[in-house]
Amino acid sequence: MFPLTEENKHVAQLLLSTGTCPRCIFRFCGVDFHAPYKLSYEELLGELQKFLETEKDELILEVPNPPSKKIRLQELEVGIDGIDNLSQNGEGRVSVIEDGSTASKNSNLNVCNVCLGILQEFCEKEFIKKVCQKVEASGFEFTNLVFSVSFPPQLSVREHAAWLLVKQEMGKQSLSLGRNDIIQLKEAYKWITHPLFSEELGVPIDGKSLFEVSVVFAHPETVEDCHFLRAVCPDCFKPAKNKQSVFTRMAVMKALNKIKEEDFRKQFPCPPNSPKAVCTVLEIECAHGAVFVAGRYNKYSRNLPQTPWIIDGERKLESSVGELISDHLLTEFKAESFNFSSSGREDVDVRTLGNGRPFAIELVNPHRVHFTSQEIKELQQKINNSSNKIRVRDLQLVTREAIGHMKEGEEEKTKTYSALIWTNKTIQKKDIEFLNDIKDLQINQKTPLRVLHRRPLAMRTRIIHSMETCYVDEHHFRLDLKTQAGTYIKEFVHGDFGRTKPNIGSLMNVTADILELDVESVDVDWPPALDD
């Protein structure tokens, strides 16, 4: 059933006569059900002409710049980003000529003065197929997708001009039309294109999908349509570092809401002039949201940083824990880059033993995202076989939200260490036994000198929950500690020139230093342990 009623005829005839396409006419008439928009352009134009035949000779236009009697037929040129000339297809296009009849199928359509061809050329099956071909060639793995479009900001100006025209005409009939009564262009475009994408790619459109296909449109011919708004509403157009132009859609909409109707009419034609060409496609991009892999790692080397060690722009060591793990993940997930994080960190000369330290890796824009548990196990084994410096366990896919459990452990949980300590004075076993009896010792630590270049100066209170000593010789003993997460162990031993109080040296009344340090356990119950 044709969606327009007798009440809509006057507005429909007015818009059609001034160069507006059938789908935009539906939008201005408030047609909010999907089916009519999905008809082919030829069908829409034919149905609209039949509907308007009875009033062909009745309409008197009162517009400042009426279109010429002979409407020009323009050739459609797209050809951006691999999109061929979409007008060169078997079915051709239809155009309206001065008597309202349909032109031959080999002709090209007139470009809508409101949507600039978006609801004409770019929601037909031929264009959707072109986009889908690029999606399929991108190499991404996906089971659903979100489709996003970016329209030129001047479309908002043109829609505003058409709205003022229609509003004026309806006012003569004691009718009203609010801006919110017009169906949004993106909404109509979505109604038409989403089913076509689903059909062509065989997957559903899902607004929560991590896989996004985005199309950016431009229309160089009318790019200056927005410029007058800057002179009228300069405060709406402020430069931003990450924006190439001040004429963003949001800025334009802000100015349109602010400008008075009479001022707009003085600056911009109502109805808007008909353009010579349709929009061009600036880019078609495919991107997949990040996926996250977590696990626990052991570090067996005393010459391996957790992350790349770079000082004054110069790399000090050739590899790192994060890279030894992530390089394999990048390859298997076909990702562009990675971000490594963990529950705390150890120094380059500190080993991490026991059940390891929890870590998570964000894989940016991965092309492959579906792995079986067996494939993840094999990937874990591949990482472990590649280096004797590290070992990974409990490797698994996790959500972004789950990583919060790991971060909670950085300050709230306990960690266990084993240290080899040297003293300047000779010691006997009895000299260290008193340390075993100290429980929940509160210490105050200023930010260590060795990390002051990357951490703010602060005083931190930490708890040494327990200590256990093992005598080695008259200058060495082993100390096992259980501490609050975030405790600087090296500084607790040597005192850091008095910046950590109390410390092992002050407790024993000696000069003490740490020769070796191992992390024995990180008591964070994440990620979940897996069976080998």
Cβ proximity of 351 and 379 under 8 Å: no
pTM of the model: 0.81
Catalogue the long-range contacts made by 396-400 (C-beta closer than 8 Å, 24 or more residues apart). 396/293, 396/294, 396/295, 396/527, 396/528, 396/530, 397/291, 397/292, 397/293, 397/294, 397/371, 398/292, 398/293, 398/294, 398/360, 398/527, 399/292, 400/290, 400/292
Would strands 351-364 and 337-342 be described as parallel, antiparallel, or unpaired? antiparallel
Residue 96 pLDDT > 50: no
| Average confidence score pLDDT of the chain | 88
Domains by residue range for the chain, with CATH? 6-54+110-287 (no CATH), 290-411 (3.30.70.2510), 413-522 (3.30.70.3190)
- pLDDT for 23 equals 97
Strand partners, 362: 292, 339
For residues 118-137, average pLDDT: 95
In which region does residue 271 sit, left (phi positive, over 0), alpha (psi from -120 to 50) or beta (all else)? beta
**Count of residues in the chain:** 532
Buried b / exposed e across 96-105, counting CB within 10 Å, b at 16+?
Answer: beeeeeebee
pLDDT at 297: 98
How far CA 460 is from CA of 178, 217, 442, 484, 517, in Å, comes to: 60, 54, 10, 11, 21
Query: CA torsion sign, 216 to 218 to 223 to 225?
Result: negative
The least confident of 110-119, 334-343, 397-406 is: 397-406
CA distance linking residue 313 with residue 393, whole number of Å? 33
195 prior amide bond cis, ω within 30: no
What percent of the chain is helix, strand and coil (3-state, nearest 5)? 35, 25, 40
* Per-residue model confidence (pLDDT) at position 244: 75
User: What is the pLDDT at residue 380?
Assistant: 98
Percent of the chain whose predicted confidence (pLDDT) is above 90: 76
- More reliable by pLDDT, 183 or 96: 183
DSSP conformation letters of 427-479: --GGGTGGGGG-EEEEEEEEPPGGGTTTS---EEEEEEEEEEEEEEETTEEEE
Angle in degrees, CA 10, 12, 18, rounded to 5? 105
Instruction: Please tell me the number of Cα atoms within 13 Å of 355 on its side-chain side.
Output: 16
Phi-psi domain of 517 (left: phi exceeds 0; alpha: psi -120 through 50; beta: other): beta
CA distance 227 to 252: 10
Residues 6+ apart with CB under 8 A from 261: 164
- CA–CA distance, 343 with 414 (Å, rounded to integer): 11
Phi-psi region of 434 (alpha: psi -120 to 50; beta: other; left: phi over 0): alpha
Q: Considering only 72-76, 121-125, 293-297, 520-524, which range has the smallest mean pLDDT?
A: 72-76
pLDDT value, residue 290: 97
Q: Mean pLDDT, to the nearest integer, of 2-16?
A: 92
Does the pLDDT at position 68 exceed 60? no
The helix/strand/coil state of 176 is: coil
Beta-bridge partners for 444: 461, 501
pLDDT tens figures, 378-389: 999 999 999 999
- Alpha-carbon span 244 to 239, nearest angstrom: 9
Backbone region of residue 177 per phi and psi (left: phi > 0; alpha: psi in -120 to 50; beta: other values): beta
Per-residue confidence (pLDDT) for residue 93, from 0 to 100: 29
Strand partners, 361: 293, 340
Q: Which amino acid is at 42?
A: E
Q: Quote the pLDDT of residue 317.
A: 87
Looking at per-residue pLDDT, the higher value among 64 and 36 belongs to 36
Query: Between the CA of residue 283 and those of 83, 154, 245, 250, 280, what are the distances in Å?
Result: 9, 18, 17, 21, 9
> What's the pLDDT tens digit per position in 290-323?
999 999 999 999 999 999 988 788 888 889 999 9
Lowest mean pLDDT of 91-105, 287-301, 439-453, name the range.
Answer: 91-105
Burial classification of residue 525, based on how many CB atoms lie within 10 Å of its CB (0-12 exposed, 13-18 middle, 19 or more buried): exposed
The pLDDT of residue 407: 78
pLDDT of residue 410: 66
How far is residue 338's CA from residue 340's CA, in Å, rounded to a whole number?
6
Kindly report which listed range (46-60, 98-112, 314-328, 406-420) carries the lowest average pLDDT score: 98-112
Helix (H, G, I), strand (E, B) or coil at 521: strand
Residues tagged active-site: 347
